Chains A and B, each alone.
Chain A
Amino acid sequence: MFRRDWLIAFTFLAPALILLFGFTHYPAIQTLIDSFWTTPRGRRPATFAGLGNYTRMLEDDIFRRAMINNAIYAAITIPTSVALALAMALFVQGRILGRGFLRMAYFTPTVLPLIAVANIWLFFYLPGFGLFEQLRSWAGFSPRNWIGTPDTALYAVTVVTIWSQAGFFMIFYLAALQTIPPSLRDAAAIEGCAPLTFFRRVTWPLIMPTTLFVSVNATINAFRTVDHIFVMTQGGPNNASMLLLYYIYEQGFRFWDTAYASALTVVMVTILALIGIGQFFLLDRKVHYR
């Protein structure tokens, strides 16, 4: 009897288990193993490299550049898109004219594929005849080459990320705001509570679970969203907009140095895991779940 139950349970679990092992766990373990070997070429088989791929990272200027860039990119995209999403949600939840249209307008960037979006933004940014440039020239400013200058390239791609993901996060905030009981607002109104105090003491604590969820997502996106880099800058000029995942792609699929790419992947996954765990443990204490 016990054995039969066990068999049935396993049969039900099998599809998910096989997929999970085949496409998540096995590749992850293989990546870890590969990171300790050299890249095999047709003429030269892989040899054991120990920590060779990891010590190489320490001396790799472009890797350092990518880490710094990614830190800046994360430090800007995470708080900005979360704040913008909340602001937009608060704005479109009230009774205002054209609410449906506004909600749709804010959400639209999310449904567009990032590659297509990046191509559009590329033309916005083009010096001389891009949209921003035409606006600037009417205002009497001199043209700037936003994505072709190292000082601005990273920020130019950062803006695209925020633009494309803020609307998505807004949807979660909008849903969270709907769940706040109207009786709380009525009670606050009777007490003569200022809107700002109401937001700080009632709304903000109640939507904290959503903030946690959204900020974890924004963190993952800060490492994962690199589609527009392919279209807009290819990490350039001179690696000024190089991000970690794009660097992994470049090492793995342009230079075919799969071993080094594996080691970089291990580093990235470790960073993401640490941040993810940290966010849950630190923020969880401040989060009320009802």
Chain B
Amino acid sequence: MTNTLKSLLAGTAAIALTSTGALAVDLEFYFPVAVGGDAASVIEDLTQAYMDENPDVSINAVYTGSYADTTTRAITAARGGNAPQLAILLSTDMFAMIDEDIVLPWDDFVSEEELESWIGGFYPAFMRNSQTEGKTWGIPFQRSTPVLFWNKDAFAAAGLDADVAPETWDDLVEFGKALTIRDDAGNVTQWGVRFPSSGFPSWLYTGLVASNGQDALANEAGTEVYFNTPEAVGALEYLVSLAGEHEIMAPGILDWGATPRAFLDGESAIVWTTTGNLTNIRANATFDFGVGMLPANVRPGAPTGGGNFYLFDGASDEQLEAAVDFVKWATAPEQAADWSIATGYVAPREDTWDTTRMQEYAQEVPGALVAREQLQYAVPELSTFEGPRITQLLNDNIAAAIVGDKTPAQALADAQTAADAILAAYQ
């Protein structure tokens, strides 16, 4: 008995020794989960599958909370000289990462040919938030775009065609009026529209600005913002009018996180939210629902959002090589299709949509295609140097306009002045 145990121990030790030989590469990888569902276990399955194929690489995938928590941990770790090799962070964190000088551009680690075939293969709408100064800093992975969800039963009950989404701003107001139901006392029992405005209203607002004809809220260098243009002011006036003049949306700030719940409970008949909620809503809706593009005004428009892979400075050459290889593998069609189907995130490359699995999924869930079609009209999410501060300025002023503390024009003029002062240091 003792002998067997001894030889067993010796054997295990021998295996352990050989498997941690000179070739083994350890990677640390931070990832956030921003949507419901089991995205965390999908990521772990993904890294496990890669390790099975590449036994000399060991990836430690660390779930690091929300996007904000992940950014905090990555920056703190990097400042302490202990950076991970890879992290998924918001695409809009690009300038902050460059400013902190803790990330490396991907271009230096791929061949000329791959620059074309791999980095060139992502949808341009996603790359606009991933490239600056002529370099690629982020590889799109868990990317999303906002869409409209509409309750077909509520549409039919209101005498609307259940299969037609509001396509324009005017449609949205008109449908919203038909869908807003009041009881005898005048209290609303069902709102027409819900445009969530807590936390980060600037994201959905970017979509309104785009559909009002303005390409983006900042320049590509991240040093200038365009908040007080007629297009931007018009978009905010429209947003304020939904709850104000038209009375088709609940007044005040509407919570982002409660939006799927509001839709599923029938509190709102049309909601604006991310494609990331598709899986959740599909699993829990007790009624027929449709998924449509954001309504157009001058043109259709929507922002992109979500997270990119970042490559951190401070790793060995072997680690960098392995990290780049892992990301190439994770964004390859089969893996990207698994990921997109499991989470509802938009597959960021054309070739993913060509896989049989993705085509079957698109047949089954037509809503998934809406996001992809919308990408041709997509503009980048607001991203600048001092990004969180600038975005917060805009969020605060949008909130001030929604609750009536400021007029839309005044709010945006204030945001512009304050943002100009902060960005002056970078111009």
Q: A-side interface residues toward B, CB under 8 Å?
A: 41-43, 122-123, 126-129, 137, 140, 142-143, 145, 147-150, 233-234, 236-239, 250, 253-257
- The reply to whether B198 and A236 contact each other, CB–CB distance below 8 Å, is yes
A60–chain B nearest beta-carbon distance, Å: 11
Is residue B199 contacting chain A, with contact meaning CB distance below 8 A? yes
Is residue B221 contacting chain A, with contact meaning CB distance below 8 A? no
List of A residues within 8 angstroms of B134 by Cβ: none
List of A residues within 8 angstroms of B197 by Cβ: 148, 237
Is residue B250 contacting chain A, with contact meaning CB distance below 8 A? yes
List of B residues within 8 angstroms of A150 by Cβ: 403, 405
Least CB separation from B253: chain A residue: A148
Q: Size range of the interface on B?
A: 35 or more
A149→B252 CA distance, assembly (Å): 5
B44-68 CB mask vs A (1 if < 8 Å, else 0) is 0000000000000000000000001
List of B residues within 8 angstroms of A257 by Cβ: 389
The one of A128, A233, A256 that contacts B100, using a Cβ cutoff of 8 Å: A256
A213–chain B nearest beta-carbon distance, Å: 35
Q: Which of B75, B388, B397 has the most CB of A within 10 A?
A: B388
List of A residues within 8 angstroms of B254 by Cβ: 127, 145, 148
Q: From DSSP, what is the main secondary structure of chain A's interface residues?
A: loop
Least CB separation from B69: chain A residue: A253
A122–chain B nearest beta-carbon distance, Å: 7
- The reply to whether A129 and B99 contact each other, CB–CB distance below 8 Å, is no
Q: Can you show 10 pairs from A to B with CB atoms below 8 A apart? A: A43-B101, A122-B255, A122-B257, A123-B258, A142-B186, A147-B253, A148-B252, A148-B254, A237-B402, A253-B68
B201–chain A nearest beta-carbon distance, Å: 9
List of B residues within 8 angstroms of A256 by Cβ: 75, 96, 100, 388
Q: Which of A42, A123, A255 has the most CB of B within 10 A?
A: A42
- The reply to whether B102 and A42 contact each other, CB–CB distance below 8 Å, is yes
CB contact list, B233-280 vs A, under 8 A:
250-255, 257-258, 261-262, 265, 267
Least CB separation from B404: chain A residue: A150
- The reply to whether B403 and A238 contact each other, CB–CB distance below 8 Å, is yes
Instruction: List 5 additional A-B contacts (Cβ < 8 Å) besides A42-B101, A129-B262.
Output: A42-B99, A143-B250, A238-B403, A238-B405, A254-B388
CB contact list, B351-406 vs A, under 8 A:
386, 388-389, 392, 395-397, 399-400, 402-403, 405
B195–chain A nearest beta-carbon distance, Å: 12
- The reply to whether A148 and B255 contact each other, CB–CB distance below 8 Å, is yes
A137→B188 CA distance, assembly (Å): 10
A145→B188 CA distance, assembly (Å): 13
List of B residues within 8 angstroms of A129 by Cβ: 261-262, 265, 267
- The reply to whether B72 and A253 contact each other, CB–CB distance below 8 Å, is yes
A59–chain B nearest beta-carbon distance, Å: 11
List of A residues within 8 angstroms of B102 by Cβ: 42
- The reply to whether B253 and A145 contact each other, CB–CB distance below 8 Å, is yes
With A143-B187, A254-B388, A256-B100 as known contacts, state yes or no: A149 contacts B255, CB within 8 Å. Answer: no
List of A residues within 8 angstroms of B149 by Cβ: none
- The reply to whether A254 and B392 contact each other, CB–CB distance below 8 Å, is yes
- The reply to whether A254 and B396 contact each other, CB–CB distance below 8 Å, is no
B295–chain A nearest beta-carbon distance, Å: 23
B393–chain A nearest beta-carbon distance, Å: 10
Shortest beta-carbon contacts, A-B, top 3: A42-B101, A148-B253, A145-B252
Least CB separation from B266: chain A residue: A129
- The reply to whether A238 and B250 contact each other, CB–CB distance below 8 Å, is no
A129→B198 CA distance, assembly (Å): 17
Is residue B185 contacting chain A, with contact meaning CB distance below 8 A? yes
Is residue B205 contacting chain A, with contact meaning CB distance below 8 A? no
List of A residues within 8 angstroms of B262 by Cβ: 126, 128-129
Is residue B289 contacting chain A, with contact meaning CB distance below 8 A? no
A253→B68 CA distance, assembly (Å): 9
Is residue B226 contacting chain A, with contact meaning CB distance below 8 A? no
List of B residues within 8 angstroms of A237 by Cβ: 197-198, 252-253, 399-400, 402-403
- The reply to whether B100 and A41 contact each other, CB–CB distance below 8 Å, is yes
Q: Which of A123, A233, A250, A255 has the most CB of B within 10 A?
A: A255
- The reply to whether A43 and B99 contact each other, CB–CB distance below 8 Å, is yes
- The reply to whether B187 and A238 contact each other, CB–CB distance below 8 Å, is no
Least CB separation from B72: chain A residue: A253
List of A residues within 8 angstroms of B386 by Cβ: 255
The one of A43, A128, A250 that contacts B250, using a Cβ cutoff of 8 Å: A128
List of A residues within 8 angstroms of B98 by Cβ: 42
A255→B386 CA distance, assembly (Å): 7
- The reply to whether A127 and B250 contact each other, CB–CB distance below 8 Å, is yes
A149→B402 CA distance, assembly (Å): 9
B119–chain A nearest beta-carbon distance, Å: 24
Is residue B191 contacting chain A, with contact meaning CB distance below 8 A? yes
With A148-B252, A148-B253, A256-B96 as known contacts, state yes or no: A143 contacts B188, CB within 8 Å. Answer: yes
B398–chain A nearest beta-carbon distance, Å: 9
List of B residues within 8 angstroms of A239 by Cβ: 396
- The reply to whether B198 and A41 contact each other, CB–CB distance below 8 Å, is no
The one of B191, B198, B397 that contacts A148, using a Cβ cutoff of 8 Å: B198
Least CB separation from B425: chain A residue: A44
A145→B252 CA distance, assembly (Å): 6
List of A residues within 8 angstroms of B265 by Cβ: 129
A41→B79 CA distance, assembly (Å): 10
List of B residues within 8 angstroms of A128 by Cβ: 188, 191, 250, 262, 267
The one of B100, B187, B199, B389 that contacts A42, using a Cβ cutoff of 8 Å: B100
Least CB separation from A123: chain B residue: B258
Q: Which of B198, B395, B405 has the most CB of A within 10 A?
A: B198
List of A residues within 8 angstroms of B400 by Cβ: 237-238
A127→B194 CA distance, assembly (Å): 12
Least CB separation from A257: chain B residue: B389
- The reply to whether A140 and B185 contact each other, CB–CB distance below 8 Å, is yes
A155→B103 CA distance, assembly (Å): 43
List of B residues within 8 angstroms of A233 by Cβ: 198
List of B residues within 8 angstroms of A253 by Cβ: 68, 72
- The reply to whether A236 and B396 contact each other, CB–CB distance below 8 Å, is yes
B406–chain A nearest beta-carbon distance, Å: 8
B399-424 CB mask vs A (1 if < 8 Å, else 0) is 11011010000000000000000000
List of A residues within 8 angstroms of B395 by Cβ: 236
- The reply to whether B253 and A236 contact each other, CB–CB distance below 8 Å, is yes
The one of A41, A122, A137 that contacts B258, using a Cβ cutoff of 8 Å: A122
